[in-house]
Amino acid sequence: MEQTQRGESPRESDATSGERGEEPTEPESEPVTFGLSGLRAGFLTCVPIAFGVAGYGVAFGVLASQAGLSVAEATLMSATVFAGAAQIIAVELWTEPIPIAALVVTTFAVNLRYSLMGAALQPWLGRLSPTKIYSSLCLMADENWALTMREFRAGNGRGAFLLGSGIALWLFWVVSTILGTVAGGSVGDPNRYGVDFILVAVFVALVVELWDGRSTLAPWIVALATSVVAAELLSGQWYILLGGLTAALLEVIRHDG
Amino acid sequence: MTGSETVGLLALETPFDGALSLDPLVVAVIFAMAVVTVVAKTGGIWLVRRVDVSDRVQAGLDVLPGAIVIAILGPELAAGGPAEWGGAAVVLVVMWRTKSILLALCAGVAAVVAFRAVV
């Protein structure tokens, strides 16, 4: 994992990364590496955000122990499922007898948005080996997807960034789950410290990075309108999928038009 | 309150008794959840790598990142209030001026906490 597969001019893109020019539209021109530097950069960039995510890990642990899961079971879920929203919804559905089908189907539905998010990383991740792609994607969450998208679009082809930031999130998520299940209800509401706003803030910051002139406007308006209406009409998180898909569909129809 | 609920509550009062217990059924359900999550996370890129992507479809994929971000943010902010909108504006401005994500996050979260205390 330490070797880097660099192209002919590895650091060429760094020189232009400060300028918001044409480089994001042609990711194919940049070499994508997979090495310790990307792993470390991802980990360190994500630690402050992972600290905030840990607030949710504690909340999940409290809910899980209230639902009757043992410390070992809740920790196992955080370590293997590693999907915050889906896990919190799951322990809220958790009753005796366990509603197995509802739990599994809901988990899949809540996490389906990751399919779209993963596909959006294909221009960069696609040039790595399947093992690297799929192991990185297993540790993908909303927060590090956003950070990685930002990193790639800035012209830094460090493919291990997703994995490194995912490892940071995973560690904080698992440890905070243990804290939550052991501490039980003695922890206050994490939202008091603005923890619930961190994810929104990460995505607002990403909006600034993703803005690419007026061509961005039409798909964004479609995504905004669709998601707001869908969030009103449908339960769950289908609105993310619908918003992304309608905007992409519009672009497919408009192409060459 | 029924008898079984009382038993459940009594069990909760001594949580450390079963802290390390692993019920086989619970473990099986957790693994099933883990499997469908991995399928959801990797399925999209798996599909895109398999099928031949035309220029037309590529144009659609290109707008996905921004569209997903907007689709997550729109309903989230619509459900929020003036404190969240103000916080989002602070993130936007700080990010625009400084290009530092850490600075933008800290300013935004601090602003939300402050706005919530005032509003």
Residues of chain B neighbouring A125 (CB-CB closer than 8 A) = 45
- The whole-angstrom distance between B1's CA and the closest CA on chain A is 16
Phi then psi for residue A121, to 5 deg, are -90, -5
Q: Rounded to a whole number, what is the distance in Å from the CA of B2 to chain A's nearest CA?
A: 14
Q: What are phi and psi of A141, to 5 degrees?
A: -135, 175
Rounded mean pLDDT, A186-200: 74
Contact between A194 and B43 using a beta-carbon 8 Å cutoff: no
What is the tens place of the pLDDT at every residue in B63-103? 888 898 899 899 999 999 999 999 999 999 999 999 887 88
The whole-number pLDDT of residue A206 equals 82
The mean pLDDT of A163-176, rounded to a whole number, is 97
pLDDT of residue B4: 45
Q: Considering only the C-alpha atoms of chain A, give the largest distance between any 2 of them, rounded to a whole number of Å.
A: 60
**Under DSSP, is residue A228 helix (H, G, I), strand (E, B) or coil?**
helix
pLDDT for res A186: 63
Chain A residues inside the 8 Å CB shell of B59: 251-252, 254-255
Average pLDDT over residues A201-216: 85
The band of A17, judged by pLDDT with boundaries at 50, 70 and 90, is very low
- Position B65 scores a pLDDT of 83
Chain B residue numbers touching A66 (CB-CB < 8 A)? 12
pLDDT band at A230, cuts 50/70/90?
A: very high
Domain boundaries, chain B: 73-118
pLDDT at residue A16 in the model = 40
Cα dihedral sign for A58, A60, A62, A65? negative
A&B contacts, CB < 8 Å = 272
Give the residue with greater pLDDT, A161 vs B99: A161
What torsion do the CA atoms of B58, B64, B65, B68 make, to the nearest 10 degrees? -170
Give me the pLDDT at residue B16, please. 52
Look at A9-23, A155-169, A190-204 and tell me which has the smallest mean pLDDT: A9-23
- pLDDT bracket for residue B7 (50, 70, 90): very low
- Is the predicted pLDDT of residue B13 greater than 90, yes or no? no
At A188 the pLDDT is: 63
Q: Name the β-bridge partners of A33.
A: A158
Q: Is the pLDDT of residue B17 over 90?
A: no
Domain-by-domain residue ranges, chain A? 31-195, 211-257
Give the H or E element holding residue B53. none
Q: How much is the pLDDT for A10?
A: 40
Confidence of residue A9 (pLDDT cuts 50, 70, 90): very low
Q: Is the pLDDT of residue A11 over 50?
A: no
